[in-house]
Chain A
Amino acid sequence: MRIRANVNKSLWVALLALLAFSPSLFAVEEMSQEGLANMIADCKQLEYDYATYRVKGDAQAFANVFTEEGEWGRSNGRVLVGRAAIADYINALPAREPDANPGLTTTVKVTPIDSSNANTVSYALMPASSGADLDDPVYLRRFHIASESRSVCTLTDSGWKIAKREYSTLFTEPE
């Protein structure tokens, strides 16, 4: 009986020692080089898709960059929730083709939260142009807006999507 108690005590001591000296048991799972690179590439691609479809005014493709219930925070504080609301918003914008003010996505930082979630910070620079014509180049005068966007990206059944996004305009051209 006493032997059994000692064995139990030893097992508990061993278990506590294992927990104390194995912080990795509680750490977020280690990502392989391939897993990390794929996550970064996929989340960066979302940023590029966001900019491309926004400029093209492709409402459905733009909405599909988000999760089904994705949230898109606008600069006026309004938050659009869900793909349908996001697509409706884009469709309601006045058509302007060709778009002479493409947002240039520049620095993009992807920070993994776990294997299926990541935070993304991205910068965009939007030039101010002198007009648009399909045949002539656009004459750049200056930049119009420099903004910072903050997104939460999540891995869904149909790949990586933006679950939540908000942005701040940090610089703008003088009025």
Chain B
Amino acid sequence: MQIMKTSFNSISAFCLLSVFITLFASSANAVEPSDKEKNEIAIICEDLLAGYAIYRDRLDAEGYSNTFAEDGVALLGSNTFTGRDALRKYITEHNNHNTHMIMYTDHDITVISDTEAVGVSTAVVLGGDRIVGPGDDPIYMDRVTAANEYHSKFKLTDEGWKLAHIEFDRIYQRED
């Protein structure tokens, strides 16, 4: 009986030790990136935001949804879209297919670890009342439609860096 108890304790200790080693190893894996790596991550995250803008403007559902992680979230106005299917649907069911431009003026990306980053960006937005196709006249407009401040989170996935979360505050709205 004593031998069994000793063996049981040894196994428990071994399991506990394994858990600690695993936890330690995983925390050790989330290393602080070097300045060079932080710069690389920031460049890639800015490019993700550019994709978010341009695919949205073109109503490219595949491009837009693939900018996000599988479980990515977008808070747009009072609506929340979670996951690529919902994000794809948001674009395909968009009923305002007019010329639209999200023009970023500034990005501030903070790299938290080698798998996480956050960003604050500002952009002016131009919204037209029709599509401008090849050979069409441009839309006549002399002021921007809105200015937004975007708050975003990024994470490293098996497919590379992706948007995990994005939402925005409208800081300027054109008075019509």
Contacts and interface: CB of A to CB of B under 8 A. Distances in A.
Interface size class of A (residues with CB under 8 A): 20 to 34
B123 A106 contact: yes
Contacts of B126: 146, 170-171
A142 B144 CA distance: 9
A110 B140 contact: no
Interface string A32-50: 0110111011000000000
Most buried by A among B37, B39, B44, B47: B47
B51 interface: yes
B85 interface: no
Contacts of A37: 39-41, 43-44
Given A170-B128, A171-B128, A173-B141, A106 B103 contact: yes
Given A123-B101, A143-B143, A109 B39 contact: no
B103 A123 contact: yes
A41 B143 CA distance: 30
Interface residues of B, number: 32
A125 B54 contact: no
A121 interface: yes
B98 to A, nearest CB: 10
A106 to B, nearest CB: 4
B132 interface: yes
Nearest to A109: B50
A145 B47 CA distance: 24
A174 B103 contact: no
Contacts of A104: 105
A108 interface: yes
A108 B121 CA distance: 14
B44 A33 contact: yes
B43 A171 contact: no
B142 A173 contact: yes
A115 interface: no
A146 B143 contact: no
Interface in B79-132: 99, 101-105, 123-124, 126, 128, 132
B104 A171 contact: no
Interface string B129-167: 000101000111111100000000000000010000000
B144 A143 contact: yes
27 contacts: A33-B37, A33-B44, A36-B44, A37-B43, A38-B40, A40-B44, A40-B47, A106-B104, A106-B124, A107-B54, A107-B101, A107-B103, A107-B104, A109-B51, A109-B54, A110-B47, A125-B124, A143-B143, A146-B101, A146-B126, A148-B101, A170-B128, A171-B99, A171-B101, A171-B126, A171-B140, A174-B142
Interface of A: 33-34, 36-38, 40-41, 104, 106-111, 121, 123, 125, 128, 142-143, 145-146, 148, 168-175
The 6 closest A-B pairs by CB, nearest first: A37-B40, A106-B103, A109-B50, A142-B142, A37-B43, A172-B138
